[in-house]
Amino acid sequence: MVSGEPCDPVVEALGWGVDGPVRAIASVRRGDAYQLYIAGKFTTAGGELMNNIAMWDGVGWNAYRFLPFEPPTIGVPGSRGISALEPIPNPFDPKSPDEFIMLGGDLLLGDSDSVRVFFPMEASITGSPVPQFDTEVQGFGICDIAFGPVGGTSTFALAGDFSAVNGEPIERIAQRSTILEADWQSVVNSSFASGSVACVEFIGDKAFGAGLYFSGLFERPGIDGPICNSICRWDGEAFYPLDSGLTGPVGAPSPATTMTFGDIGEGPSLYVAGTFTLAGAAEANGIARWDGSAWHALGNGRPPLLGQPSVSALAIFDDGSGPALYAAPAFPGPIARWDGEQWQDFSAESDGTVYTMAVHDDGSGEALYVGGDFAVIGDTEVSGIARIRGCAAPCPGDVTSDGTVDLADLNLVLANFGQTTTDGDTDGDGVVNLVDLNAVLANFGSAC
């Protein structure tokens, strides 16, 4: 099954944006809703002072406080700042719907060249003093963080270019099963022959091949591991190559730098992008799909440019015409959309790099949020962070989402008229006003 024709996207700014690059985005659950968190290396968001991390509530930007410490102050010239955000379950109350955030990157800890992983928390969640969960990593930083099942156990994973974690010799990839008790452990039981680990992804589908998938510049995961060529699966006990892996023109390992898992109508698939030209025997040209047993090219691919990946981030998003794979440009250009048969430009061109993408609903409808080091997308000034919408809702006045625009919708708009809220807000501007009232009246009696 192939998704339909894409909608004409609408690019929207989120306030005044940020004053530096955004490298990570996460949609984090808080109660019955989700909040959008962005991180990178910036000092303001929406004109307000921030410290490299900020939260978008659907109306404006908010500084996110860390207890019992402040957000990381980045002091290393040339550092990437915060490069990874990962929502994790509440370690104090597994039944709580509220998620916490694990974050890491290339930061400054005291006077040493190291990085930290933080667990930001809110006092209202725990009601008691919060331990400080810091992890000191010796090396060049954390590239990715993931949380998911391995061998039936929920597991946290760190990936990057490091040689030690909290003083213990752990190379490139680390894992732990709990936050409150266990410490970080090595995934491999011997040293990596070379290179780093750029990205990690947990997959819980046993039929597909459950476990931790990771990719980087390596031939084997440890000296005694199997030949994987830049991408491998770990099930908690053993490593498994994905066919002959990812290689470059001369057969050398050539890593994926981003990956995502999902189904756009081609069956459950792991999508990867990077500098490789071959995925197994498939001529992939920088992007490929693993179906659990074999590699597949995605059309003509997204060929690397001058030895650098042309794709910086991947996401699966339904713009209203069906789910598709979206590939962000590592250089100025448009976001591309793969529908299972062909590539199409989804957005207007950005004037810089898009580093990260995430699907999120801030109360105004599901959209694709993109962050990076850019000022405009097309003719829209967005300053590092933007929301891209696809198809318009078929019933813009159906604020109760019951399938009909009727008295219930009218009463909800009137009850909240003039207020700053998402209840009764049809256009996503955060305020219930005449625009919302007119939307209900214009579509009154319509069935969705």
With a pLDDT cut of 90, the percent of the chain lying above it is 42
Determine the Cα–Cα distance for residues 92 and 95; give it in Å rounded to an integer. 9
Query: Is residue 251 domain-resident?
Result: yes
Q: What is the mean pLDDT of residues 319-348?
A: 92
Same domain as 401, residue 388: no
Half-sphere exposure of 162 (CA within 13 A, CB side): 28
Kindly tell me if the per-residue pLDDT of 136 is higher than 90. Answer: no
**Nearest 5°: CA angle at 86, between 83 and 92?**
135
Residues 441 and 406 in one domain: yes
210 and 226 share one domain? yes
Statement: residue 243 has pLDDT above 70: yes
**276, 133: one domain:** yes
Please report the pLDDT score of residue 448 as a whole number.
Answer: 58
Would you say residue 1 lies in a domain? no
Cα first-last separation, the chain: 24
Please check whether residue 4 lies inside any domain of the structure: no
Q: Which of 392, 413, 436 is the last residue of a domain?
A: 392
The 8-class DSSP code of residue 53 comes to E
3 state SS of 415? helix
- The chain-wide mean pLDDT, for the chain, equals 83
Work out the pLDDT band at 79, boundaries 50, 70, 90.
Answer: low
What residue ranges in 334-377 does DSSP mark as E strands? 336-338, 343-345, 353-361, 366-373, 376-377
Q: Is residue 222 part of a domain?
A: yes
pLDDT at 421 over 90: no
Q: What residues make up the domain containing 439?
A: 394-448
Whether 241 maps to a domain, the answer reads yes
Mean pLDDT, range 210-216, rounded to an integer = 94
pLDDT band, residue 250 (cuts 50/70/90) = low
User: Average of pLDDT values for 71-76?
Assistant: 48
Look at residue 65 in the predicted model and tell me its pLDDT.
54
Q: How confident is the model at residue 67 (pLDDT cuts 50, 70, 90)?
A: very low
Percent of the chain with pLDDT over 70: 83
Residue 76 shares a structural domain with residue 193: yes
- b vs e for 133-157, b when ≥16 Cβ sit within 10 Å of the residue's Cβ? bebbbbbbbbbbbbbbbbeeeebbb
Residues 204-232, mean pLDDT to the nearest whole number: 91
Q: Mean per-residue pLDDT for 420-440?
A: 85
Identify the CATH number of the domain in which residue 280 sits: 2.130.10.10
> 443, 405 in Cβ contact below 8 A?
yes
CATH number of the domain that 403 lies in? 1.10.1330.10
297-322: pLDDT as tens digits: 999 999 887 778 899 999 999 988 88
Residues 317 and 445 in one domain: no
**Do 151 and 184 have their domain in common?**
yes
pTM: 0.83
Tell whether 422 and 368 lie within a shared domain.
no
Answer whether residue 48 is part of any domain. Answer: yes
3-class SS of residue 380: strand
Distance CA 46, CA 43 (A): 10
Least confident range of 37-46, 103-112, 327-336:
103-112
**Cα 20 to Cα 39: distance, rounded to the nearest angstrom:** 10
- What's the pLDDT band for 82 if we cut at 50, 70, 90? confident
Domain stop point among 367, 392, 417? 392
Q: What is the mean pLDDT of residues 172-183?
A: 80
Position 194 pLDDT exceeds 90: no
* 406 and 370 co-located in one domain: no
Is the N-terminal amide bond of 68 cis, ω within 30° of 0? Answer: yes
Whether 49 and 166 share a structural domain: yes
- Three-state SS at 435: helix
Q: Please tell me whether residues 294 and 322 are part of one structural domain.
A: yes
Find the largest Cα–Cα distance for the chain.
Answer: 69
The lowest-confidence range among 20-24, 143-147, 239-243, 289-293 is 143-147
Say if residue 123's pLDDT is above 50: no
What confidence score (pLDDT) does residue 362 get?
81
133 with 226, same domain?
yes
| Lowest model confidence (mean pLDDT) among 11-15, 129-133, 175-179, 372-376 | 129-133
Residue 128 has pLDDT above 50, yes or no: no
Q: List all residues 6 or more positions away from 335 whose beta carbon is below 8 Å from its beta carbon.
A: 326, 327, 328, 329, 345, 346, 347, 350, 354, 357, 368, 370, 388
- Return d(Cα 249, Cα 278) in angstroms, integer: 8
- Over range 381-402, report the average pLDDT: 81
Does any domain span residue 101?
yes
When divided into structural domains, the chain yields a total of 2
Residue 174, helix vs strand vs coil? strand
Residue 37 belongs to a domain = yes
CA distance 255 to 189: 21
What is the rounded average pLDDT of the residues 227-248?
93
Residue with the larger pLDDT of the pair 10 and 79: 10
